[in-house]
Amino acid sequence: MKRKLFYILIPILLIFSQNSYSQFNQDSLQIKINRIVRSYVDTNKAALVIGIIRKEGTDYFSKRYSFGHLRSDTASPRPDSLSIFHIGSVTKSYTATILSMLIQQGGPLNLNDLVEDHIPLNIVRAPVFVNTSGDTIKMRIIDLATHYSALPDDPILPVNDSTTYQMMYHYLNNHRLSREPGHCFLYSNLGISFLGVVDSYTRWNY
């Protein structure tokens, strides 16, 4: 699915990169997007929404294009701005991009900051590691972003494959790291989810 989505989006991005705003035509864009997407939607019976935002100088354009139907029957509604898609690990790219923007634009985050400095400690705490000498080692932002946090991958797996914030907070508040953060790569969906929580408490709109 990720590869197919890549093949759909790249031609659309090229449409924008090859045309200046003065050459930009909404009708032409609609035709080109239809040509790129139609065969995929018709063949795979998929629902797809493409959102485009473009700003050049004082000119601004935003548009949503909807394709397919929410269910296999064509009588079902088309997807819209309120449709929720299960995009899984694609959200990791968004989370990392937001983190990068917050840092590059002089936001309140630094990669080497402690995680606990950017979360509401009355709600959730960052697990720590205590070594044999009794020293407490705390995780940093960079540890979450690079999968070096020492957090496990998917420790919370309910039947419906959905985890609430409350479930995640309860786990984090009661978990003790089994290894020192920053020293060993361990792929962690939980770690990236926790990074999303950190991003959300920066008090920046994004």
SS3 label, residue 32: helix
Residue 106 confidence (pLDDT) = 80
Cα separations in angstroms, 104 against 111, 114, 206: 11, 18, 14
Tokens 């989810």, residue located: 193
Residue 160 confidence (pLDDT) = 59
**Cβ 48 vs Cβ 41: under 8 Å:** yes
User: Which CATH entry fits the domain spanning 90-200: 3.20.20.370, 3.40.710.10, 3.40.50.150, 3.30.70.360?
Assistant: 3.40.710.10
Q: Where are the domains of the chain?
A: 2-67, 90-200
Cα separations in angstroms, 95 against 25, 79, 191, 192: 32, 24, 11, 8
pTM of the model: 0.68
Residue 44 confidence (pLDDT) = 64
Residue 89 confidence (pLDDT) = 84
**Going residue by residue through the chain (206 aa), what tens digit of pLDDT does each one get?**
444 444 444 444 444 544 544 455 667 777 877 877 777 776 666 777 877 777 777 677 777 778 777 877 777 888 887 887 777 788 888 888 888 888 888 878 899 999 999 998 899 999 999 999 999 999 999 999 999 999 999 887 665 566 788 999 999 999 999 999 999 999 999 999 999 888 887 765 54
Select from 53, 3, 48, 45 the least CA-distant residue to 29. Answer: 53
